[in-house]
Structure 1
Amino acid sequence: MSDLQRRRLGREGPEVTVLGFGAMELRGTPHRNPRPLDEAVVADVLRTVLDEGVTFIDTSIDYGLSEERIGRHIGARRDEYILASKAGCPLEHLPDAPAGPLAHDYSAGNIRAGVEQSLRRLRTDRLDLLQLHISPSLSTLRRDGVVETLTALRDEGKIRAFGVSSTLPHVDDHLEIGDFSAFQVPFSALERGLETRIELAGRRGFGIIVRGGVAQAGKRAKQTADGRPVTWAGSGLEGLRDGDTEQGFLLRYAITAPGVTTVIVGTADPDHVRDNVRAARRGPLPADVFAEARRRLDAAGLTPQPSPAVG
C-alpha cells in the first residue's frame, strides 16, 4: 500500500495518489517533437512510478509511443494504477504535423476509433478516465453529440468515467456540464490563472487533475496580470521552502490548493520520480505557509484570473 496521500477523483470516482505521472515524456522519436529514449529507460521509469506507490497515470494518443510503452512495460500490473487517456486526437502520431495545436475530431466515429486503439496499445480492457483533449468549445460538444458518445462508451464498459482537458476560454462552459467527472487544467504557484475555478470545481464535486504544477522548477518565466515575466527568483517563495527543493515546494503548493485531486508530473528520469515522491510524501503545506505563499505571490503580481460569480 502506498504511503502517498489519496483523494477521490470526482464524486464517485476511484481514489488516486496526490502525485500522478504524466507520460508525455515517453513519446519517443516518431513524433513532431521527438523525445529519444531508450526502451530500458522507459521500463525503469514506469516501474519506478509503480514501485514508489504512484497510482495515477495520464497519457494520450497525441503522445507518440507513450500508450504502447505503458502497455508493454506495465500492462501486466494494470490493477496497480488508475489509467487516463484522451479523446478526439488524430489516430496517427503525425511526425510532420505543423507547429501549434493538432486538429482534433470529436465525432463519434473518431472518438470510438481512438478508444479502441488506446485499449489495444495500453493492453487493457478499460480506461478509468477518458478526457477530451485540447479544450473543445461548447458549440463543438453540442454539434458532435460528444457527451452522448462518451456516455455510451461508459455504459458499454469501455471507459469508467469521462472529463475534459480544459482551459480558458471554454473552462466556464465545461464547469456547467455535470456529466463530466474530472477536469485537467494548467496550474501552479507561478500560473494561478485558474485557481478560483479549481476551488469552485472541487466544491461542486469534480475531480481536478493539475498539469504543469511544478512549473519546470520555476526556471521558465510566467507572466503576471500586467505582462511582466516572473520566475521562481522573483516569486518571493524562496524563504518558505523549509528543506524542499524549488520543484518540491511548487508540487506541494499545487497539492495544497483547494479543489486539487492530483498533480501529474512527467519525467524520463527514475531519480526525478523518486524526488517528486519524496516531496509529495511531505504532504500539503502547513496552512500558515500556504497563506503566506499566496500573499507573496499576490505581491509579485502572480494572481488568479477573475471568474464569473458562481456558487
Structure 2
Amino acid sequence: MTNTVLGRTGLTINRDAFGALPIQRVDIATAGKILFKALDGGINFFDTARGYTDSEEKIGASIAKRRGEFILATKTPSKNAEGFWKDLETSLGKLKTDYIDIYQFHNPDFIPKPNDGTGLYEAMTEAKKQGKIRFISITNHKLNLAKEAVESGLYDTLQFPFSYLSNDTDIALVKLCAEKNVGFIAMKALSGGLITDIYAARNWMAQYANVVPIWGIQRETELDQLLEAMKQTSPLTPDQKAKIAKDREELAGDFCRGCGYCLPCPAEITINICARINLLLKRAPEAQWVSETWQQNMAKIENCLHCGHCTDNCPYGLDTPALLQKSLKNYREFVSSRQVRV
C-alpha cells in the first residue's frame, strides 16, 4: 500500500480512498461490513456528504468507534452561513464525531471568499477555530471555478473529477495543485462506471503523486477488487496502455460523466444514465440495460420539455437534449439488432 501527504494539510493518507456515496443504496448491515473491511484493509480516508442521504449515518453507526484510525471528509451544499451551521451540526451528529478532518463546500457555483456577503468562508474559519473542522476544502466540476479556488490560497484541498479520460487542462490543474501545495482529491476515478479496469485506472493515477482518488464502493466484491489492486501498483503495462488509448478514442468529445447535477428532470428522465447508456452497454452485461424497465426509461426521452434545466446545470456545458436524442436513437438500434422483445 502507498501513502501520500495530502497537500498542506500534512495528513498522511492511503493513496486509495473510500467514496461513500454508493453505500446509501445498501442496508446498514451491508454498509457496516464494507466500511469495516475497508478500514481493516488499510483504507484510512472516507469521503461522504450531507447530500448523500444516509451515508453519514451509516459511517457513524459502524466505524465511528474507531474514529482515530481514519481521516473523514464530508460536504455542505449550503449557500449561506445559517445553512452551513445547520449542515455541520447535522453531519457531526450523524457521523458521531466531534470533528471533521476535511469540510468541503459541495460544488458551489461560485468560490466562497471572505467578505463576499454570504458569510460562508467566515463560517468555515469560525468552525475551524472551534475545532469542529480541521481543514477547509471545496469540490467542483467546473474547471474555471476549481482553478480559481486553488489560486485563491483559501483552500487546503480540492476535489475535482480526474481519471485517465481527463484532458490536458485537467492535468494542468493537478500540476497547479502540486505547485500550490493544495491536496488534490480525485472524484469519478472510474468516470462514473465508464472505466471498468481498476488496475489500469490505478496505475495511470499513480504517476501523479499528489492525487488521491476516491473509489465509489457499493458492493463487497468491488471492495475486494480494490483491495487486491492495492497490492499490485506498478507502471502501466503495454496492455493497459492499449486499453487506455482505446477508451480515450471511444470516449473522445462530448459525453455525459453521470454527475447528476441535471437532476431532477421535470419529464422524469434519468438523464445521467440515459445520456450515456450506449457507453454503459459496452462496459457492463447488457441484459440489465435492455430490460423492459430501461426501455421504458429511455422512452421518456420523447417527453423532453426542452426546459433548459439540464443544460443550465451541466458543469461540462453539454447540449444534453441533443445527447439524449442521439442516445435514444442508438439505443433503439441496439435493441433492434439484439431482437429484444418486451
What is the TM-score with the length of structure 2 in the denominator?
0.66
Structure 1 position 301, deviation (Å)? 7.9
Distance 2:97 2:223 in 1: 24
The 1:115/1:300 distance shift into structure 2, 3 A limit, reads same
Q: Deviations over 1:18-70 (max 9, x none)?
A: 1000111122xxxxxxx3x2322111111111111100000011000000110
SS of 2:158 mapped into structure 1: strand
1:196 corresponding residue in structure 2:
172
Larger helix proportion of the pair: 2
- For structure 1, the 5+ residue unaligned runs are 28-34, 90-104, 220-244, 304-311
- 2:13–2:71 CA contact under 8 A, matched in 1: yes
- Map 1:190-269 to 2 at 5 A: 190-192=165-167, 194-216=170-192, 218=194, 246-257=197-208, 259-260=210-211, 262-269=212-219
1:128 corresponding residue in structure 2:
101
Match for 2:30: what amino acid? V
Distance 2:242 2:235 in 1: 11
What is the TM-score with the length of structure 1 in the denominator?
0.72
How many equivalent residue pairs?
A: 250
* Bigger Rg, which one: 2
Match for 2:130: what amino acid? E
- Map 1:1-311 to 2 at 5 A: 4-27=1-24, 35=25, 37-87=26-76, 89=77, 105-138=78-111, 142-168=116-142, 169-192=144-167, 194-216=170-192, 218=194, 246-257=197-208, 259-260=210-211, 262-283=212-233, 285=235, 302=252
- 1:248–1:279 CA contact under 8 A, matched in 2: yes
Distance 1:74 1:113 in 2: 23
Structure 1 position 191, deviation (Å)? 3.2
Distance 2:237 2:110 in 1: 36
The 1:290/1:196 distance shift into structure 2, 3 A limit, reads farther
2:290 corresponding residue in structure 1:
none
Match for 2:118: what amino acid? D
1:102 corresponding residue in structure 2:
none
Distance 1:109 1:204 in 2: 31
The 1:131/1:271 distance shift into structure 2, 3 A limit, reads same
RMSD (Å) for aligned C-alpha atoms: 2.7
Distance 1:86 1:123 in 2: 15
- For structure 2, the 5+ residue unaligned runs are 254-342
